[in-house]
A and B are shown apart, each in its own frame.
Chain A
Amino acid sequence: MFDLDLWREIFQSINKNRTRSLLSGFTVSFAILLFTILFGIANGLQNTFTEAFGTDANNSIVIYSGRTTKAHVGLQAGRRIQFKNEDYDFILDEFGNKVQYITSRVNRNVTAAFKSEKNSYQMRAIHPEFMFIENNVIREGRYINQNDLNNKTKVAVIGKVVNDELFLKETAIGKYINLNGISFKVVGVFTDDEGDNEERIIYVPLTTAQFLYGNNDFIDYMHLTYNPKMNSDQALAFGNSITRKLKERFKVARSDQRAIRIHNKAQGTKQVDMMTFGLTVIILVIGFGTLIAGVVGISNIMIFIVKERTKEIGIRKALGATPKSIISIILIESILITAVAGYIGLLIGVGVLEWATPSLEQYFIKDPGVSNRLVIGATLVLIIAGAIAGYVPAKKASKIKPIVALRND
């Protein structure tokens, strides 16, 4: 039910009392402006944290081996632990249901050459799953696949930087690249948004590397991601149980810190999670605080408005205004001022954030901003806030006795 006359009355009242309406609107605008900027900055800080951890899977665990430092069950200290393919199978057998992706890795530094161009790069021999662990994006061609592993094919997937440096203006796909004297066919080019260093890499199938560089089944280390449904505490426990099992398998003392080592990202994830949680709580507290301050402010001003308009309300009642019509006028005026002023504050806040984004980057605030969902949510909250702010004054206004109102002049 849209009552044009009611709105006309309200607009007239707002328009005729511009200073008053502007003042009450200003409180709300300012509250929302502060809220938006704070929220945006907090978002920016969060973005910085997220980015610091890169796009590598943040649920990854890397398992290294080294030399034992302690004698254990009759075995000397200083023994070298070497992972083999069977250890990869062991992990899968033991922890298959907790592992999302797993790959064995062999790393070598190689000199790569194509035609007259030559440079040294890191070569990583891997399983196909590594693509998901590292979050590589294939730009052309394909990644290493299971077929390559089975047949020990001599294929390579090269990073964008390798491609740019060696192939200059040629297409790399299908060409042969010389890695330490052995020719590999380039089947793919990948990018990685973590930057150049991650793109100066050449991937080859694990089995091929094992065959060519030693004809054994040695593994330098293993890299896996755990089931993302696990929380950081479960993930930490999972990491510990891997260490324990491997120590048993290799007859290493439990207290030996060097022979089997793991690097568990959950450690960092847990800290970031807690930091993010803390930040969110702070934002919410500050946000609600400012909003409540704004609502109290407008409520105050509406009470003042009602007081100021006591006589007018008395006149209206003497002329036949029902309590309901008085409530509507005050309530809708309050909602209108709150919503419009709040929205203006929101727009200014978003504008300020946009404008300040470039200069904020140096303070670890990246891409500060508020989502559309938040904007819609905030608008709804504003309307509700306006209603709450206006309710008490409106109720008060409806209880004004015309006789009292008309007397006080």
Chain B
Amino acid sequence: MLKISQLHKSYPIGDSSLHVLKGIDLNVEEGEMVAIMGSSGSGKSTLLNIIGMLDEADSGEYILDGLPIKNLTEKKAAVYRNKFLGFIFQSFNLINYKNALENVALPLYYQGMKRKERQEKALFHLEKVGLAPWAKHLPKELSGGQNQRVAIARALAANPKLLLADEPTGALDTQTSHEIMDFIQQLNDEGKTILMVTHEEDIANMCKRIVRLRDGVIMEDKKIKQVRAAQYV
């Protein structure tokens, strides 16, 4: 599914440069649920951004579903992101003047789907996250947990191969975090591949595999026994 080898990335800081990723090797199979952990500055977000094609590596190989991701034009990157990837962010990143339904429909708009079909599909996904009755509400009229569920519905709308979550529970209280994790686990049960950046141990333990980063290298990569979030809900 996802194959990364010898990935390097550095950022220029004044005259010198900061070496953030120092040769990352990572393979993720279909249906996996991986937590990427590490303290701030360990390079976990950079790694996720490169996987999300929001950023480009300096060297190394990145193959997504058999497709080498290298030297993409902006347009091509946009198309790939739309087709292969779904994003879930810590701060939800919904468009504040669009209602829940329109937010979920946005990736479908960029796929060139017809308006009617788009809305049906968006509504279907909203229903799936249990927010169909809130379809016409703006983000500011929804709670944090509801907003994150709208964001998840949006990430799912384009039916991506890989779901990337950047601290998906970072802005939520424990109760809501568990609800969201329960939901993400259900998605994984249905077969979605999920990659998640987090620094919370209990959230990481709800995945099936933990990759620990420190100073730009992988310290530890182990499969774990998944803790089900449902028991806390």
**B83 interface residue (CB < 8 Å to A):** yes
* CB atoms of B75 and A323 under 8 A apart: yes
Asked if A1 is at the interface of the complex by the 8 Å CB criterion, the answer is: no
Inter-chain CA distance A316–B81, complex, in Å, is: 11
- Chain A residues with CB under 8 Å of B91's CB are 409
Of A17, A403, A406, the residue contacting B93 (CB under 8 A) is A406
Q: Is A74 among interface residues, defined by CB-CB distance under 8 A?
A: no
**Counting CB contacts under 8 A, is A55 at the interface?**
no
- B49 contacts A by Cβ under 8 Å: yes
B175 to chain A, nearest CB (A): 24
Say yes or no for A315: interface residue by CB 8 A criterion.
yes
Q: Which residues of A contact B97 (CB under 8 A)?
A: 12-13, 16-17
B98 nearest in chain A by CB position: A12
Residues on A with C-beta less than 8 A from B158 are 319-320
Q: Is A325 an interface residue (CB 8 A)?
A: yes
Closest to B50 in A: A403
State the CA gap A315–B95 with chains docked (Å).
8
Size category of the B interface is 20 to 34
Contacts of B54 in A (CB 8 A): 318, 401-403, 406
Within 90-148 of B, Cβ neighbours of A (below 8 Å) are at: 91, 93-98, 106-107, 109-111, 115
* Category for how many chain A residues contact B: 20 to 34
Indicate with 1 or 0, residue by residue over B20-49, a CB within 8 angstroms of chain A CB atoms: 000000000000000000000000000001
Is there contact, CB below 8 Å, between B74 and A319? no
Closest chain B CB from A9 CB (angstroms): 8
The smallest C-beta distance from A326 to any residue of chain B, in angstroms, reads 9
Residue of chain B at shortest CB distance from A398: B74
**Cβ of B110 and Cβ of A321 under 8 Å apart?**
yes
Of B89, B94, B111, the residue contacting A320 (CB under 8 A) is B111
What is the CB-to-nearest-CB distance from A146 to chain B, in angstroms, rounded to a whole number?
A: 79
Cβ–Cβ contact B55 & A403, under 8 A: yes
Closest Cβ of chain B to A190, distance in Å, is 71
Sample of 22 A–B contacts (CB below 8 Å) = A4-B115, A9-B109, A12-B97, A12-B98, A17-B97, A311-B93, A314-B93, A315-B93, A315-B94, A317-B81, A318-B52, A318-B93, A319-B87, A319-B106, A320-B78, A320-B81, A320-B107, A321-B110, A322-B110, A323-B78, A324-B75, A409-B91
8 tightest A-B CB contacts, nearest first: A320-B82, A16-B97, A320-B110, A403-B54, A319-B107, A322-B78, A322-B75, A315-B93
